[in-house]
Amino acid sequence: MVGTNKGVKIGVKVLAYIILFIVVLCMLVPYLWMFSSSLKLNKDVFAFPMQWIPESPRWSNYEDIWTKIPLGTFIYNTAKLSVIVTVLQILTSSFAAYAFSKLNFTGKHALFLGYIATIAIPWQAYMVPQFIMMRSMGLNNTHLAIILLQAFSAFGVFLMRQFYQSIPDELCEAARIDGLSEYGIWARIMVPLSKPALSTLTIFTFVSTWNDFLGPMIYLTKTELKTIQIGLRMFISQYSAEYGLIMAASVISIIPVLIVFLVLQKNFVQGVASSGIKG
């Protein structure tokens, strides 16, 4: 009986690994197709049957993307916005989360619920009023408009608060007795203990800002201000599109996101697992 149960467990585990392998393969296929297409001529990108490994790889596509469009400028603009927005969201979210989780003030729960409720409102519902407001402030066609609009995140506050709730209040009380201010408690106790949650928020914020399309499309019209997601459209003309170059530029564009994820993946998994321990 013991041997039978052990065999069943092994069979279930093998089946689970097979299913996970198939799922991972399905998720990787689009990226493999993108890389394969980046080494082809336009006429070969959508050829059927598909040739996964080109007979004559066109590596020159990776050279042409830097001369056809100002790709370096687009990558710089995207990196600039992504880094600044990520840093600001980490600061604002962790500050607000500390107040909502460790401080007592009138209307705390009502204010938190009201702020978190904004997550349910789609951005398309208020993007026009936002644009009118930014234009009236003279911030249209500036990176500052996007930075100001994305510097605060209700999701970030929720994520950080859930993690802070798992940290014992006794630590904060002991720090107050020792004479630490609230800012000192945040900097010396909460931040060092919340690296998993901060890594998780960093990945979410960096990826969403790097891949943002609508925001830059609405606020940025000057070529020297555009991001890489908008810049890829410059490979598309009225009657044709240079798909090989688009795929090559797309491969380049996902490298920074991949690096950020690989660097923070350990803390990311720990943060996702622990952010909902205590609500």
Which of these, 205, 109, 103, 126, lies nearest to 159 by C-alpha position? 205
What pLDDT is attached to residue 278? 45
Does residue 96 lie within any of the structural domains?
yes
| 90 class by beta-carbon count within 10 Å (0-12 exposed, 13-18 middle, 19+ buried) | buried
Does residue 37 lie within any of the structural domains?
no
Does residue 78 lie within any of the structural domains?
yes
Q: State how many domains the chain has.
A: 1
What pLDDT is attached to residue 261? 86
Does residue 106 lie within any of the structural domains?
yes
Q: 0.75 cut: is pTM over it?
A: yes
Does residue 250 lie within any of the structural domains?
yes
Does residue 247 lie within any of the structural domains?
yes
Question: In CATH, what number is assigned to the domain containing residue 78?
Answer: 1.10.3720.10
- Which residues, including other chains, have CB under 8 Å from residue 246's CB and lie 6 or more apart? 232, 235, 236
| Boundaries of domain holding 267 | 60-274
What pLDDT is attached to residue 1? 52
Does residue 157 lie within any of the structural domains?
yes
What pLDDT is attached to residue 277? 45
Does residue 30 lie within any of the structural domains?
no
Locate all alpha helices (DSSP H) within 38-70, ordered by sequence. 42-45, 61-68
Average pLDDT by consecutive 10-residue portion of the chain (279 residues)? 68 89 91 89 82 85 89 94 95 92 87 89 86 90 92 90 87 86 87 87 92 90 90 78 88 91 75 49
Which of these, 112, 82, 83, lies nearest to 99 by C-alpha position? 112
b (16+ CB within 10 A) / e for 246-257: bbbbbbbbbebe
- Which residues, including other chains, have CB under 8 Å from residue 180's CB and lie 6 or more apart? 188, 189
